[in-house]
Structure 1
Amino acid sequence: MGVYVVTGSASGMGAAVVEKLRSAGNTVIGVDLRSADVVADLSTATGRRAAIDGVLAASGGTLDGAVLAAGLGPAPGADRPALIVEVNYFGVVDLLEGWHDALASAERAKVVVFSSNSTTTMPAVPGRAIRAMLAGDSGKAVKATRLFGKNAPAMAYGASKIAVSRWVRRQAVTARWAGAGIRLNAIAPGAILTPLLERQLATPDEAKAIRSFPVPIGGFGVPSQLAEWVVFMLSDAADFLCGSVVFVDGGSDAWFRADDWPRAVPAVRIRGYLARMKEFAARA
């Protein structure tokens, strides 16, 4: 049995993951705005620091795994883009950096970050916002989304999920993470029947847009299904899973991008590949 931390533990997919892990006999430290073992606001640097410190204290400094499920959707509101950027990107990256040593001390720790299939199905997501987040500049990221007016929250959401997925893939293969025995991966859900989606379906205009979105198998996923995938990605069976983004979305990603992936590595990138391999070998 292990010790795990789950952000967004009070509802939706995070709560489903907590239930699965605890039912298997694991110790779970939940992090959320309320009804959690560690109550913290991930939209602020102070709140993220409180989450880091609270979990380290509760875990005794060793974590067998982490599930970063806390996130905000693209609801209307002038302040929404900033909240989305802070929670969906920095509320993942800052926490994982703060928990790195506790994860490394477990030697075979697993991390699952919640991404989204919006990373590959949403058009016109501003690249400047993605690059700004990866550079650690939240203000610049938010500014880049505000150019889209009323669609700024949606753009901030898409950009935050792309940025955090790229962060996972970039970091997963480094000596700092893979070399420390930590497996970093992401899961990309589609439309999952959470309380948030249920509220959206109760609004006629939103419901029409949601139901018209291509889901080849039809219907919606349920939180317990996603939780099963997460539990697998935390298990010993996932020791060889590293830097992957697993789509669990009813086929939407494949519908939009059947021929986009896999794609061979361009020859021009071979030098960079060899340099990274040399760096990894030197640090391992």
Structure 2
Amino acid sequence: METKKTVVITGSQSGMGYATRLLLEKNGVKVIGVTNTDDAEIQADLSSAEGVAYAVKEIVRLTDGQIDGVFANAGVGGENAPLVFGLNYFGIITMLKALQPYLKKSLSGRIVINASNSVVITPGIPNDVVDALVDFDEEKAYKLIKENPFWTYQVSKTAITKWVRQNAFKEEWAGSGISMNLIAPGVVLTPLIEHDMKDPRKAEGINKLPKPIGTLPKPENIAPLVKFLLIDDSKFIIGQYIVIDGGTEVSWRGNDHPKTWDISFEDFGKLG
């Protein structure tokens, strides 16, 4: 008899996290939710090192160390760089590294990180800040973002995307039987977006987005992709950034991808 899988979801009580929780539980998965509110199994501030440490301790306690997957879904926007970088970047990596031994022990560990299609549809994201985050140079990142505070969210999502792309194939992750990927939703009709739609300025920008399907996705439209990556036969998908936005990105950038590899055969032969 197959052992019941256990999955950790951050931001488990609203939006995409909650929709995924319901779908996984419907499929017999035990879910451990982590939020900064008091309506989940674990209450913790994942933007701080102390909060992450507490969450990890409680996750291990509540699961007896049996952890098969993590959906790092919690995220935040705005111009508060310590909060945004802490939750969207540093906190995710710290938590995943702490849970890596347990995911490895699962023999089929899965990680899905909620990134954003803003990484590939937003012009002018300052790459110097992204690079500082990827290099874990916090002081430099905080200094540079002061010049471009509007991009704090996009920078954090770009940095976590680059970190996954640079690490998912390594021994610590894929080599340990852990498949790690990113999903990149566009605007999803969460309560937050529904609230934003009541603001004429924000609604104008949202309504200008291409919608080839004719509407915006709901959280329950995102959850099946997360379920597939977390518990279904998807272990050979490694380090991928999967856009799920109803066609917004491809409407604008359909000619940009795939990008062929501009490398000589001599250099290619040196790889591997």
TM bucket normalised to smaller? over 0.9
Where does residue 124 of structure 2 map in the other structure?
124
User: What displacement does 1:186 show?
Assistant: 0.5
- Mapped pair 1:234 → 2:230: yes
Distance change >3 Å, CA 6–CA 168, structure 1 → 2: same
Where does residue 61 of structure 1 map in the other structure?
65
Alpha carbons 2:181, 2:240 under 8 Å: kept: yes
Where does residue 77 of structure 2 map in the other structure?
73
Give the letter for the 2:16 counterpart.
Answer: M
- Mapped pair 1:6 → 2:9: yes
Distance change >3 Å, CA 126–CA 16, structure 1 → 2: same
TM-score (norm 2): 0.93
Alpha carbons 2:161, 2:241 under 8 Å: kept: yes
Consecutive unaligned residues in structure 1, runs of 5 or more: 278-284
Alpha carbons 1:142, 1:156 under 8 Å: kept: no
Distance 2:69 2:139 in 1: 31
Consecutive unaligned residues in structure 2, runs of 5 or more: none
User: What displacement does 1:271 show?
Assistant: 4.3
- Say how many residue pairs are matched: 268
After TM superposition, the runs of 4+ consecutive aligned structure 1 residues lying more than 6 A away are none
Distance 2:72 2:266 in 1: 33
Where does residue 152 of structure 2 map in the other structure?
156
- Mapped pair 1:33 → 2:36: yes
User: What displacement does 1:140 show?
Assistant: 2.2
Where does residue 103 of structure 2 map in the other structure?
103
Distance 2:65 2:266 in 1: 39
Distance change >3 Å, CA 47–CA 271, structure 1 → 2: farther
Distance 2:168 2:251 in 1: 27
- Map 1:173-252 → 2, pairs under 5 A: 173-252=169-248
In structure 1, the residue corresponding to 2:91 is in which secondary structure? helix
Distance 2:225 2:68 in 1: 17
In structure 2, the residue corresponding to 1:6 is in which secondary structure? strand
Distance 2:127 2:163 in 1: 14
Distance 1:68 1:190 in 2: 17
Give the letter for the 1:201 counterpart.
Answer: M
Distance 2:266 2:168 in 1: 19
Alpha carbons 2:77, 2:152 under 8 Å: kept: no
Q: What is the percentage of aligned positions where both structures have the same residue? A: 34
In structure 2, the residue corresponding to 1:147 is in which secondary structure? coil
Give the letter for the 2:212 counterpart.
Answer: P
Distance 1:56 1:128 in 2: 36
In structure 1, the residue corresponding to 2:106 is in which secondary structure? coil
In structure 2, the residue corresponding to 1:19 is in which secondary structure? helix
TM-score (norm 1): 0.90
Range moving further from structure 2, 48-57 or 183-192: 48-57
In structure 2, the residue corresponding to 1:234 is in which secondary structure? helix
Cα-Cα RMSD: 1.7
